Amino acid sequence: MPQLHLEYSANLRDLDTDKALLRLNSALVASGQFGDEVDIKSRAVAHETFRVGIAPVERAFVHVKLALLSGRSPEIKRQLSASLLEALKDVLAVPAGIDTQLCVEILDIDRDSYAKVRFPA
């Protein structure tokens, strides 16, 4: 199930999104919270138009949103958040002279309304 959205400012030109997504997915698999690695779906989107604060300095961001079926404890969510943040720190070479923020957000998806079908190869 988990749906992972990696959003980042386009001024992080050296961000290897494929490597980042693989590392983030690997962190989720290692957490033991998900039954099958194929259930983890991730994607990355660069934002060309963005603003961080109001100061006239160059800033950047990477924001991970992880949507999970509801029911996990706050402690499990904190562990997942911390693990994803560490994975981001591992893959991101923070550019010199750019104030960069990394953050992770965990969202609950209502189990009663979630629907899924899979057509294996």
112: confidence class by pLDDT, cuts 50, 70, 90: confident
Give tens-digit pLDDT for 15-37: 999 999 999 999 999 999 998 99
Output the DSSP codes for 66-87: EEEES---HHHHHHHHHHHHHH
The ranges assigned to domains in the chain are 3-109
pLDDT of residue 46 exceeding 90: yes
Q: Each residue of 74-97: pLDDT tens digit?
A: 999 999 999 999 999 999 988 899
The pTM for the full model equals 0.92
> pLDDT exceeding 90 applies to what percent of the chain?
88
Assigned fold of 3-109: Macrophage Migration Inhibitory Factor (3.30.429)
